[in-house]
Structure 1
Amino acid sequence: MFLQLLTAAGVLAVLTMVPGPDMAVVTKRAISAGWRDGLRTVGGITGGLLLWGVLTVVGLAAVLAASAAAYTVVKLAGAAYLVFLGVQALIQSRRGRAQTADTLPAAPVGSPWRTGLVSNVFNPKIAVFYTGLLPTLAPSGLPPHAGMALLVLIHALLTAVWLGSYVMLLAKARAFFQQPSVRRSMDRIMGIVLIGFGLKVATTQP
């Protein structure tokens, strides 16, 4: 069973490190408001994973993954939220033209924890991932529900450690990112990236 868990953790680690909407949301928040807000965003994302995990264990995520209508509703809501965050970043980049090196950047709108939670909860791919892949990785020595719950906890822990480390790395370079010209460029880049992820989520199939 230990080798099965080790293999599952390796697969989950690789999937966790693949850049996606969560990393884009964390990058925007950490650069805009600092490492504390970045870590709170990571906390929200982790909370979203745990919520999906609970839904998976009780079987509701499987219903969502199997229902085209429910999947589409969650997919479009998640896509709209990512596009909203992207447009918000583009607007901030335009406002930033009037800033000088001595001007404090505007604080991001909304709770960082809620931002992370909402961006993750409205990602139906997590439901498909949990109901489609996790059962194949669950250790055979445990009851199915217990094995799935354990893998969800491992995935949440890996996500928190990976994104948390990424936030602290960004914090070390925040002085560079806070330069007005760099800040405007990063806002534009992250805005385009978030809108791109939103459009990708909206057009993908289960």
Structure 2
Amino acid sequence: MEQFIAVAIAHFLALLIPGVDFFLIVRTTMTSGWRNAAGASLGIATANGVFIIAAFSGLAFISNPSVLAVIQLAGGAFLVFIGLAFIRSNTRFEPEQDLSVARTTWLTNFGLGIASGLLNPKNALFYLSLAAALAGAPPVTLIAYGVWMFMIVLVWDIFVAIAFGSRRALTRLGPVVPWLTKIAGGFLTVVGVSMIGSIVL
């Protein structure tokens, strides 16, 4: 029980740190509503599930330095692409805006969520470290941990989407949405460039 509490706390604290996934969900919520952002949330959780299965199954390829380098390069390019798209975006929210007329589809956001999760090397490294800490645990225990972590990622991300998708939140954040989008874009671009630079240079 103590081990589960320690793992659960470590995993949840990692979720609380805003990152690429957080910005993707918030922007999707503000432009297409929380229901479409739920697609991105499920995609992100699915990507986390892939890393959880790979790490807990002891698949060696995920810890291979070459594989991690490829993930980092691809992830960096993805972040630069998304970051520049955010910077160039003219996203605005008006209180009377009808978010039922989504700018992107649920399936498109699901795909973006998967890409965001799979191309983030920090996810792979995090679950590898957890797998190492749980070495020797029975398969049933690892399955239980994996299901728990998948569900927590999904529930937390959907909570973020709903929280930022409420009419009150959108009304309050409406005037600063363009600036938040560009700041997030700048952050993602810098992170992406630094990821690529750490491999290339």
Q: TM class by shorter-chain length?
A: 0.7 to 0.9
**Length, aligned pairs only:** 194
On the 8 A contact 2:7/2:130 being kept in 1, the answer is no
Where do 1:101-120 residues align within 5 Å? Answer: 107-108=103-104, 111-120=108-117
Query: Which residue of 2 is the match for residue 202 of structure 1?
Result: 196
Query: Which residue of 2 is the match for residue 132 of structure 1?
Result: 129
TM-score (normalizing by structure 1): 0.80
For residues 11-47 of structure 1, give each alpha carbon's deviation from its aligned partner in whole angstroms, at most 9, with x where no partner exists.
2111121222111211121112111111111110001
Gapped runs of 5+ residues in structure 1? none
Separation in structure 2 between the aligned mates of residue 163 and residue 150 of structure 1, nearest angstrom: 20
Separation in structure 2 between the aligned mates of residue 103 and residue 29 of structure 1, nearest angstrom: 14
Would the alpha carbon gap of residues 204 and 170 (structure 1) be closer, same or farther in structure 2, given more than 3 Å must change? farther
Gapped runs of 5+ residues in structure 2? none
The one-letter code sitting in structure 2 at the alignment partner of 1:15 is: A
Separation in structure 2 between the aligned mates of residue 34 and residue 43 of structure 1, nearest angstrom: 15
- SS of the equivalent of 2:89 reads helix
For residues 114-171 of structure 1, give each alpha carbon's deviation from its aligned partner in whole angstroms, at most 9, with x where no partner exists.
1111110112222222222233146x6x51x333332222222221222221111101
Would the alpha carbon gap of residues 104 and 10 (structure 1) be closer, same or farther in structure 2, given more than 3 Å must change? closer
- SS of the equivalent of 1:59 reads coil
Is 2:25 the partner of 1:31?
A: no
2:81 to 56, 81, 84: 84
Is 2:65 the partner of 1:71?
A: no
The one-letter code sitting in structure 2 at the alignment partner of 1:113 is: F
The one-letter code sitting in structure 2 at the alignment partner of 1:24 is: F
Where do 1:1-206 residues align within 5 Å? Answer: 2-60=1-59, 62-65=60-63, 67-93=64-90, 107-108=103-104, 111-137=108-134, 142-143=137-138, 145-172=139-166, 173-179=169-175, 182-203=176-197
Q: State the 1:104 CA deviation.
A: 7.8
Separation in structure 1 between the aligned mates of residue 165 and residue 97 of structure 2, nearest angstrom: 19
Separation in structure 2 between the aligned mates of residue 134 and residue 18 of structure 1, nearest angstrom: 21
- SS of the equivalent of 1:74 reads helix
The one-letter code sitting in structure 2 at the alignment partner of 1:191 is: G
CA RMSD after TM alignment: 2.8
TM-score (normalizing by structure 2): 0.82
Would the alpha carbon gap of residues 202 and 39 (structure 1) be closer, same or farther in structure 2, given more than 3 Å must change? same
